[in-house]
Structure 1
Amino acid sequence: MTKTPDATRRSDRSRRAILDAALALVGEVGYNKLTIEAIAARAGVGKQTIYRWWPSKAAVLLEASLAGDAETDAEWTGFPDTGDLAADLKHVLRATVDEFNDEKYEAPARALTAAGATDPELGARFTEQLLEPQLALYEARLRTAREAGQLAPDTDLRLTVEMLVGPLTYRWLMRTAPLTHAYTDALVDRVLGGVANVTAR
């Protein structure tokens, strides 16, 4: 008896192949030279298959990045809370530096950042689905520290998060200087020095 092909499994396999192809190609040729045709050829599908699911190469890259982020989240045990806020922030920011310096992450992240700057809809999705969940993790850890009396009661949590990740992102985007663990450690010390609860010292 001939087994009926599983269309769902075939569809999932094709989708995964397309996402993997997009991530690989943007690292090889860059975003400007990336095309739907090239992604289709690498994935072994017709380009109409891609257009059936995504409106543009940027949309493919965004989903590929979200899928990779979901896999990372599944392996991650959560934002550390050892009771030492500075150590916890340094641990996470050092990991962020390692990610920014990883070629597999850098090319698609830069491509999405650039595309989001000129495509408001894509930029909004990038912020909502990829950036905001990450910032919320920082904010939650800072809130715990504020409740424990480690930060000043009037500390603006979102502003503090932006002071931590903003300079790091700027240095990465503009390539003004190398990204190092020493840099993020100094950044954490400077930022926390400004928001620490002085009465708790």
Structure 2
Amino acid sequence: MGICSIKQMTTRKLLVLSTIHQISVLLLSDALTVSETSPDAPNSDDTTSINHPRNLATEALYINQNFRRMVLKRNEEPFKYDNPRLPFDEGDTDADSCVAYKYRSWYLGRQADGTEVRLICRTEHDGVTTGPNGETQMLTIKAFNEWDSRMASGVDWRSKLDTQKGAVLATELQNNSCKLAKWTLQALLAGSDQIKF
């Protein structure tokens, strides 16, 4: 290791801190929100509390990932796409993804100088099912998660889920309308035939 000046060391530390900050912001942007449109959104100041917004967002992310894996049938042959290779695969033959990536392109018109404007978007399908006429239908699979209903002005799932499914769903739609809009847009962009909750 070479000798460097204090100024160089400070610059390096700032670069490392900046990189760590960017990574943490990136990870948080992937996390899902919980009850973000609720009048009583999570607002715990205790970062160790399970009801802290960051902890709830991390839990929601894990619940969605695991729910997606759980509902897929493991005893059937997986659906094969035209190009089954994982994007950005670096030769790892054991790599397995629980989603299928689909790249889509939309023509948005021309700029003033005549240049074409195209939007290219990476979308995801979480699964496939057979439709009523035997056709393959693409699925988007998502999950709502319950948090402390006393704090969330919500419905206690344990006592109401079996008897009042509609009330539970209506409350979740009201308290998570932004997340539901995001999921709907993701399904529309991907061209999914169904969204399953």
Q: TM-score range by the shorter chain?
A: under 0.3
Q: Which TM-score applies when normalising by structure 2? A: 0.23
Q: Hey, which of these two has a bigger chunk of strand by percent?
A: 2
Larger Rg computed on CA atoms: 2
Q: Hey, which of these two has a bigger chunk of helix by percent?
A: 1
